[in-house]
Amino acid sequence: MTRPPETQTIRLVCLTSTLPDAVKQGRIPPREAQTVARTPAGPEGFTLPQLRKPPRFTQIILAGDCTCEGLSSPLPVPEQITTPVNLSAQFAAQSPAPQADDASQKPDFPAELPVTHSASLKDRNYGTWHGQALRDLPPDALNALLHNPDFASPEGESLRQFHTRIGAWLNTVSLGGETDAAPDTGPLSNGSRSGRQPGNPSGTHARFPSRTQSDTSARTVLLIARPAVVRALATRILQGGPDMATRLDIAPQTTSLFTHHAGNWRLRMLGVP
């Protein structure tokens, strides 16, 4: 009898970045705004109670509108990609991001660990409204922006479209396929490759790294993105819609854990400081 292929487990560890300063000022962030994530302090780095030991990452995925201070060398800035970049629930009060006690205690990521820049994981795209102060928007437009999941600003995307984009990325990862992202070709300081993908003419793509013979059943990925992106991932895993996202509070600089096995995603941990 032929032995069935071993089912691969995916561990998706999500680290949220800070919020753009514009959000704290009651404005829609500029399109080019970058937010910062800081890896946890301490020699063991990520110690998650749901895992028996600190995860050994096989890849880092960095959203196109985020940077990370904890990586051992500066990351290259990918070419500007004009794909969707969320706010709706972000305008609610959020806990301030805690400061790392000692930057020297950051975990040391292997120099050869692949870093993938993903345009698909950018925050919601607000089109011509990027940089606008909320108080300057017409009351009916502001109400639609905050409460109508199908409302899209000029040249932007609706909350539902944003969630659909994030869900499509999660489906791709579930199948172990490609993402519209660009991996570094070597150490963290190297540049990234570019390419094209249908539906994202200016985007780039790459496969996840091949699994080694000793690790054929698990892939552990560190995803660094804004809170709205992780919130969208959580609602997709819970089979909810954009309305559910307004009931989830995921603060900046927190960690969430999602796992995928035998065709099913599970939410293991959400928004833990």
Q: What is the pLDDT along the chain (273 residues), one digit of tens a residue?
A: 544 445 679 999 999 999 999 999 999 999 999 999 988 765 466 777 777 777 888 889 999 999 988 664 433 333 333 233 333 344 333 334 344 344 334 444 555 677 899 999 999 999 999 999 999 999 999 999 999 999 999 999 999 999 999 999 999 998 875 444 444 433 333 333 333 333 333 333 333 333 333 344 688 999 999 999 999 999 999 999 999 998 999 999 999 999 999 889 999 999 988
Listed residue (173, 179, 164, 176) closest to 235, CA to CA? 164
Alpha helices in 136-247 (DSSP H): 139-147, 159-174, 227-237, 242-245
Whole-prediction pTM value? 0.74
Pairing mode, if any, of strands 66-68 and 35-37? parallel
Cβ neighbours for 67, distance < 8 A, ≥ 6 positions apart: 17, 34, 35, 36, 37, 75
Query: Strand, coil or helix: what is 71?
Result: coil
Contact indicator for 66, 17 with CB cutoff of 8 Å: yes
Cβ neighbours for 1, distance < 8 A, ≥ 6 positions apart: none
Q: What are the boundaries of each domain within the chain?
A: 38-272
Contact indicator for 114, 271 with CB cutoff of 8 Å: no
Q: Any idea which fold 38-272 has? A: Rossmann fold (3.40.50)
